[in-house]
Structures are given as C-alpha cells and as structure tokens.
Amino acid sequence: MSILTVALLQIAAYGNDQQQNLAKGAEACHQAKRLGADIALFPEMWSVGYTPAAALDPEVSDIHRAPHLWAEHAAPDLPSPAEIWHGLAITRDSPFVRQFQDLAVELDMAIALTYFEAWPGFPRNTVSLIDRHPASSSPTPRCTRAPSVPTNAR
C-alpha cells in the first residue's frame, strides 16, 4: 500500500500582496516537495490572507478583540467586507492560479490552492486541487474547484 504525504503549509500570508503571497507560497511548495510531500495544502484564502485592505491605526494592532478590550482606543471604523476586498478576487485562470499550475507540474506534486474567487455573485472562498499531471489535451494541469460557500457581505 502506498502512503500519501500531505504538507499542511502553516505559513502567514503577506496580507493582500498577491505577488509576495505567490513567491512565499512557491517557496513553501518547494520545501514541501524536498520533504517528500505528494500534496501541498495552503491555509484558507491564501491569495489575500484574510487581511483587511483598509489601513488601520498603527497603534491598534488587533482589530479582532472583544469590545471590552477597546478601553484605551476606540474600535476602528472599518469598511464593509465588500469595500475591503473589492478588486482582490481572482479567477481560476488568473496568473496567480496559473503560476501554481505550472509549479505543480515542475515539482510533480499536487497543490491544494486557496484563494478569494471572483464569480457572478459576491466573491467566495475557494480551494482548487491542482493535479500534478496536465490533461492530455492541455499543456496546463487540471484545476478542480471544490464547492465553496460564498463569503457573506454583511
């Protein structure tokens, strides 16, 4: 019986900087392959890292704390999720995803890539399992998107 080795990439994104996230993610995939992984699995929403696009007060580093902890500073007035992530959603055929498709072939390793996906509704949190082998009719590997739940734009 064969053993399937999955690398759970426990890495932090560079916020909304997709180019830096791409570079850091590629290096993590190279390291996973060196360690013998068959599949590299990214943290949720790797393309944007769940980081708000709005600049925050530099003295307030934790916007996710309970209201009773805001005694010294008023809670920041943040824009809605739709405003924060406007323009950051990508498609399955974006350069960001295509780079990881190429990397899957180069490393001969499947990659489970997570990203903020553009689609007809509000963008959604998606994972695509990128095959290490291209389909015979295409020079790029298959990219199968798992069903996802749309992100709620409250």
Q: Where are the domains of the chain?
A: 6-49+79-145
**Which pLDDT score is estimated for 137?**
45
Cut 0.85: pTM above it: no
Two tokens, residue 110: 């499947």
**CA-based nearest residue to 29, from 104, 94, 101, 83:** 104
Residue 15: its pLDDT value, please? 84
* 26 compared with 79, residue with greater pLDDT: 26
Mean pLDDT across the chain: 80
- If you write DSSP's letter for every residue of 54-96 in order, what string do you get? S---TT---TTS-GGG-SSSPPP-PPPHHHHTTTT-B-TTSHH
pLDDT at 5 over 90: yes
Pull the structure tokens for residue 84: 């924060």
Nearest CA among 119, 115, 118 for reference residue 127: 115
* pLDDT at residue 79, rounded to an integer: 67
When comparing pLDDT for 144 and 118, which is higher? 118
83-97 burial, b for 16+ CB within 10 Å, e for fewer?
ebbeebbbebeeebb
Per-residue pLDDT at 26: 98
Contact 132, 119 (CB under 8 A): no
Q: What's the fold here for domain 6-49+79-145?
A: Nitrilase/N-carbamoyl-D-aminoacid amidohydrolase (3.60.110)
Q: pLDDT for 140-153, tens place per residue?
A: 555 665 555 555 54
pLDDT digits (tens, 9 = 90+) for 67-111: 666 566 666 666 666 666 768 899 999 999 999 999 999 999 999
Burial class (CB in 10 A: 0-12, 13-18, 19+), 42: buried
